[in-house]
Amino acid sequence: MTCCGHCEDAGDFFDEKTAREDLKKYRRRGPEKSTRLLVESILTCDIKDKKLLDIGGGIGAIQFELFENGLQHSINVDASRAYQTVAKQEAAGRGLTDQTEYHFGDFTEIATSLPNADIVTLDKVICCYPDLEKLLTSSLEKAGSVYGLIFPRENVFTRIGFKLVNLWFRIRGSEFRTYLHPYEKVDAVIRSYGFKQESLNYTILWRVLVYRK
């Protein structure tokens, strides 16, 4: 499996139908619990006039929530063209076109062409990427003062669930896989860049962390 093939098949999995369903849910109920916890933790910091880099930004839920609280500019990076199309349309409908920019592709491959940002977020991204250290280091190098991420807890539910999901992908002939990266390794890499853990929250399936420098 190559990262290129993995990202190409990720685009097939995160298709337009799924993106529009996610947007409908967001419009009705707001961000899902784990994303809401991430946003609430970020909002304990001063985000007025700050810039966000949202990796795997999806429909743009994080950026839209932060714009309502003073965010100045957002950069959305995603490997799904469908999700980016939906996010752009929603941003336009909210009058945010001039404050948002979108970049398609594997973040680690285009990171050097992107600007730094005050806030960097990865909402359920590292569980979809095979090279943990490459993704973390590439994103940490872009982070100014706040680094937030959501990734799976390692428990019986996620271990069984991820095995079944990956079996389904193999049966379909897809290169896309999900990954249970260990918390200790994630935390160690982030701290090596001078960040300290500001908050840690949980849902049944997810860890929600925010770090500050």
pLDDT per position as a tens digit, 130-171? 899 999 999 999 999 999 999 998 877 877 777 777 677 678
pLDDT per position as a tens digit, 63-86? 999 999 999 999 999 988 999 999
d(CA 72, CA 68): 10
Q: Where are the domains of the chain?
A: 3-212
User: What's the pLDDT score for residue 170?
Assistant: 79
Token pair, residue 75, equals 């950069």
Token pair, residue 84, equals 């980016």
pTM: 0.88
Percent of the chain with pLDDT over 70: 92
Q: What is the DSSP-derived secondary structure letter of residue 91?
A: H
Contact 124, 178 (CB under 8 A): no
pLDDT per position as a tens digit, 165-196? 767 767 877 776 788 888 999 999 999 999 99
Place of tokens 């379909």: 172
Distances (CA, A) of 52 to 19, 62, 74, 100, 141: 21, 9, 5, 9, 14
The class (CATH top level) of 3-212 is alpha beta
Place of tokens 């806030």: 119
pLDDT per position as a tens digit, 32-42? 999 999 999 99
Inter-residue long-range contacts of 68-72, CB under 8 Å, 24+ positions, other chains counted: 69/43, 71/47, 71/99, 72/48, 72/99
Pick the residue with more confidence: 3 or 111? Answer: 111
